[in-house]
Amino acid sequence: MAELLRTHPLEAWAAALAELPDEVRITPEPFVAMVDVRVPAAASEGLAVRGTPLPTAPNTWTPTADGRMVWLGPDEWLLTSTGTVPHLLEEELRDQLRPVGGTAVDVSAQRIGLRISGTRAREVLAKGCSIDLHPRAFPAGRSAQTTLGQAGVVLLSLGEEGFAVLVRSSFAGYLASWLLDAGLEYVPLG
C-alpha cells in the first residue's frame, strides 16, 4: 500500500494506551481502505464480493483475504482491505457491482479501528455499551452498530482475540480517553 502522509488520529494517545496492562490491551489499528457497498437485498443473497460471500445475516461480519466484510444493513456492507489503496478498491467494487445495481463509495477517512483484547476487555467495554458481549451472545463473527460511551461505533467480535471497534476518526480521541478511563482500575498501583 502506498505510503500515506497522514497522522493517525490516535497518535497522541498511543503512548498512554501502551501503558495499559495485559488484561486490557488497546491497540490502534493502522489505516485501511474502507468502502461502503450497497447492493439491492434481492441481489445480495449468495453474492461473492472479492471472493467472499456477502454476510446477509444481520449483525455479522466475515473475514476476507485481506480485510473484513461487515453487515451494516439489509442492503449495505462495509468492506475493508489492507492490500489495496482506497480509490482502486472503490473502482474494483464499482465495476463488479454495477451489473447487479449496486454502488461502492470510498469511506476510508470516515472510521479508524481499535483492537481491544485481554481478560478484562469485555468488562471495559461493558461500562459504556448495552450489548451483551458474553461469548455465548456475541461470538466471533458477530458485529453490532451501537454506542460506546457517547460515540457511535461498529463493534466486531474477534472471538479469542477480543474485539475490534470502528469509530469515526473525529471521535477516536474521545473514545481513547474514555477507554483509558474505563481501563484505569486494572492498572496496578505504583
Partner 1 sequence: MQLIACPWCGPREEVEFTYGGQAHVPYPDDPAALSDEQWAHYVFFRDNTKGRFAERWNHSAGCRRWFNAVRDTTSYRFQRVYRVDDPKPVTP
Cα–Cα distance measured from residue 79 to residue 159, given in angstroms and rounded to the nearest whole number: 20
Do 160 and 171 meet the contact criterion of CB atoms below 8 Å apart? no
166 vs 180 by CB, closer to partner 1: 166
73 vs 135 by CB, closer to partner 1: 73
Q: What's the gap between Cα 160 and its chain centre?
A: 16
Binding status of residue 69 toward partner 1 by CB under 8 A: no
| CA within 13 Å, CB half, 72 | 16
Centre a 10 Å sphere on the Cβ of residue 66 and count the other Cβ atoms it contains: 14
Binding status of residue 170 toward partner 1 by CB under 8 A: no
Which residue stretches of the chain are H helix? 14-18, 41-44, 86-97, 121-126, 169-183
Binding status of residue 72 toward partner 1 by CB under 8 A: yes
Which of 5, 26, 10 is CA-nearest to residue 111? 10
72 vs 85 by CB, closer to partner 1: 72
Binding status of residue 173 toward partner 1 by CB under 8 A: no
| Residues touching partner 1, count (CB under 8 A) | 11
Q: What's the gap between Cα 27 and its chain centre?
A: 13
Binding status of residue 141 toward partner 1 by CB under 8 A: no
Choosing from 146, 168, 174, 186, the residue that interacts with partner 1 (CB under 8 A) is 146
Binding status of residue 145 toward partner 1 by CB under 8 A: yes
Q: Hey, which residues between 108 and 137 contact partner 1 (CB under 8 A)?
A: 130
Stretch that binds partner 1, among 4-12, 71-79, 104-112, 156-164 (CB under 8 A): 71-79
The footprint of partner 1 (CB under 8 A) covers 58-59, 72-74, 130, 144-147, 152
